[in-house]
Amino acid sequence: MILKALYDYYNRSLLENPNSLPLYGWMNSRISFVIIIQKNGNFVRLEDNRDETGKGKIFVLPYGVHTNSITPFLFWDKCMYAIDYSKASIPLSDVESQDKKKVEKWEKSYASAHEKHLAFVSLCKKVYDNTLDEDFKAVVEFYKKNQLPLLRNDILWQQIEKDPDVNVSFKLEGAISLIASKPILSNYVEKDTSQKGICLITGNKTDIVRKVTPTPILNCKSSASLVSFQTNQGYDSYGKSQAYNAPISYEAEFAFSTAIKRLIEEKSQNKFTIGKANYTRTFLFWSSSNSDASKAMENGIFTLFAHNELEDEDPNKRIELVKNVFMSIYNGKLSANKDDKFFILGLAPNAARIAVVYWSEIPLREFAKVISQHFKDMAIIGTRKEKKPYIGLYSILESVSLEGKLSNVTPNLPEAVVKSIFQGLPYPNSLFQACIRRIRAEQSINIVRAAIIKAYLNRLNNNNKKINIMLDKENQNEGYLCGRLFAVLENLQYAANKQDSIRSNYMNAASSTPASVFPTILKLSNSHYSKLVKDKKGLAVFFDNKKKEIMAMIQDFPNALNLGDQGRFFLGYYHQKNDKEINTTEE
């Protein structure tokens, strides 16, 4: 299912824009330095092909994959293959050269690297012998005349010495294109024809790939791929080894691996990455069609879940636009075909391979409904300063982390939050607990924390009354009422003394063991009332009536509140503080 969806994405992209992805036999890769040569093979100069970031420019080149065996590319490759230079080429120091073991190790490493270079030169000659192409002949003559030592006299050689792992290629003096870009080279991409089988993706009987192209994700080895089998480790079936266990044609393998590369490339807006180290998760997402609704869905998911660094943009406005997009798709205002689907693939690094940790294939409108429900669950009244909460993934995580830093988030929390949003399931208990901990530690509940508590409690399948966006005077939950009362008493103190010390001294205890705290703060409120009534009788009466109104609904203060009711306490407190009636704390 996953590979077929990626295969279809590749073919759809080509139909929409033939130049958007390389055709079979070709690949996009970076070339950092170009060796300029004459037609007779003489070396002219090195050409720096790096951009302002220090990375080589991207070219469409003959397809190639390096494996543990010797696998040279066609007229382009790493310095080790193309110009016989690598870290193994650096001679040992005088001190190290006295160590026999180090000398033997260096000689073995250099011999291995040099063997790869010889294979590259041999492949160039083989292709020339089959084509008699004059451009290919120039490269063959370059090696035949032993022009490699001349590269070391070029001013750019020091740059290659700093990074010998870059790619290089050839170009004739005065030419525009690389020699490696000649169309005829696609016919010479090596293919193992020893194994045939029924392709699991296309259903055709054809040549089967032995190894799948590496498509490494963040924090994964460069050789990692989506389809991989350990040989002689109990994973082989019917005596088959490597990718022969999952027969895939060369064309289909090229298509889905190219699709993955496109989705995970650096500037892709069809991915987002969460977590760190071993808990890193890369989520890829795409639509089955190119409709306006599909494009809007992809842009919306990227905005909602990617870590956007644009400080000059209003995050609340951005999220509000995304919310409207999902609602429009769900309500049918932005038309989507009944057959349009949305795909989400979650990947994780796992030793030498890539692990699939999440896969979803869901109709576009149904997924829009699920995401819209997330916005509905997170909706809550804002303060006067902040009318609407920024409920992107990272604002949620930052609000429950120490010092508001993503680096302090519990490692497995981001993935759990993402999956709950994608599946419309209850938010993780760990999110709720982290939120309560931060409120207690900072004695502060902001709009995002209030939204998290409301969303978590409302998604639980229990008999408790659902919590509203704003103050609910009909809610008689003990925790909610205690929170409301605490907010009134705090406002009364501030109105009388211009301080709210009961929050710092009593909030944590009041939210967990109300019976042990409220008698004390109610007694204090009488003193605050007496002081306020002398200067602002109307305001004092207002707070006194509000206090009596809430207390009339509380039969007895509970000895203890469970964690869920502690959350309701903080929501009652937040709602009461942000009610439209007079709020002296903000005056």
User: Which of 354, 365, 290, 379 lies closest to 328, judged by CA?
Assistant: 365
Please, what is the Cα angle at 38 between 36 and 43, to 5 degrees? 55
Q: Are residues 316 and 347 in the same domain?
A: yes
Cα–Cα dist 272/307, whole Å: 8
Domain boundary residue, one of 133, 166, 188: 188
pLDDT digit string (tens) for the chain, length 587 residues: 899 999 999 999 998 888 889 999 999 999 999 999 999 999 999 999 999 889 999 999 999 888 778 889 999 999 999 999 988 777 766 656 767 787 788 788 888 889 999 999 999 999 999 999 999 999 999 999 999 999 999 999 999 999 989 999 999 999 999 999 999 998 888 777 778 889 999 999 988 888 888 888 888 887 888 887 766 555 566 656 676 778 899 999 999 999 999 999 988 999 999 988 888 999 999 999 988 899 999 998 998 888 754 444 566 677 778 888 888 888 888 877 888 999 999 999 887 679 999 999 999 999 999 999 999 999 888 765 555 555 778 889 999 999 888 888 988 999 999 999 999 999 999 999 999 999 999 998 999 999 999 999 999 877 778 899 999 999 999 999 999 999 999 999 998 888 888 998 999 999 999 999 999 999 998 988 888 888 888 888 998 899 999 999 998 999 999 999 999 999 999 999 988 765 544 44
Query: Would residue 478 count as lying in a domain?
Result: yes
- Say if residues 392 and 315 touch (Cβ distance below 8 Å): yes
Residues 439 and 509 both lie in one domain? no
Q: Which of 188, 212, 240 is the last residue of a domain?
A: 188
CB 397 within 8 A of CB 411: no
Beta strand 33-37 with 26-31: parallel, antiparallel or unpaired?
unpaired
The domain total for the chain is 4
* Within a domain: 305: yes
What's the number of CA atoms in the CB half-sphere (13 Å) around residue 551? 12
Q: Which domain, by its residues, includes 227?
A: 196-263
Would you mind telling me the total number of residues written for the chain in this entry? 587
Q: What is the rounded radius of gyration, in angstroms, for the C-alpha atoms of the chain?
A: 33
Is residue 65 within 8 A of residue 199, CB to CB? The reply is: no
Q: Residue 380: which of 507, 314, 470, 488 has the closest Cα?
A: 470
Q: Which residues contact 68 (CB under 8 A, 6 or more apart)?
A: none
Q: Are residues 349 and 214 in the same domain?
A: no
By CB atoms closer than 10 A (0-12, 13-18, 19+), residue 383 is: middle
Q: Are 507 and 445 in contact (CB under 8 A)?
A: no
Whether residue 454 is found in the same domain as residue 309: yes
pTM, full prediction: 0.85
Angle at 169 between CA 110 and CA 78, to 5 degrees: 30
**Would you call 72 exposed, middle or buried from its count of C-beta atoms within 10 A (0-12, 13-18, 19+)?**
buried
In a domain, 225, yes or no: yes
**Residue 557, Cβ neighbours under 10 Å: how many?**
20
**Same domain, yes or no: 129 and 227:** no
How far from the centroid of its chain's Cα atoms is residue 47's Cα?
Answer: 35
Q: Is 17 inside a domain boundary?
A: no
* 73 & 93 share domain: yes
Shared-domain flag, residues 53 and 81: yes
- Picking from 263, 294, 317, the residue at the C-terminal end of a domain is 263
d(C-alpha 460, C-alpha 509), whole Å: 25
Q: Using CA atoms, how far apart are residues 453 and 436, in angstroms rounded to an integer?
A: 8
Q: Are residues 45 and 85 in the same domain?
A: yes
Residue 576 lies in a domain: yes
Query: Does 527 share its domain with 405?
Result: no
Do 502 and 392 fall within a single domain? no
How many Å apart are CA 281 and CA 289, to the nearest integer? 25
φ, ψ of residue 306 to 5 degrees: the values are -80, 150
Give the Cα separation of 108 and 69 in Å (integer): 16
- Other Cβ atoms within 10 Å of 497 Cβ, number: 13
Residue 7 maps to a domain: no
> 541 and 441 in one domain?
no
pLDDT, tens digit, 9 for 90 and up, residues 452-500: 999 999 998 777 788 999 999 999 999 999 999 999 999 999 988 888 8
Q: What is the SS3 assignment for 421-478?
A: HHHCCCCCHHHHHHHHHHHHHHCCCCHHHHHHHHHHHHHCCCCCCCCCCCCCCCCCCH
Q: How far is CA 500 from CA 6, 390, 491, in A?
A: 58, 28, 7
Instruction: Give strand pairing partners of 271.
Output: 284
In a domain, 345, yes or no: yes
Residue 483 placed within a domain: yes
Claim to verify: residue 153 and residue 212 sit in the same structural domain: no
- Residue listed under structure tokens 């636009």: 321
Contact between 507 and 444 (Cβ < 8 Å):
no
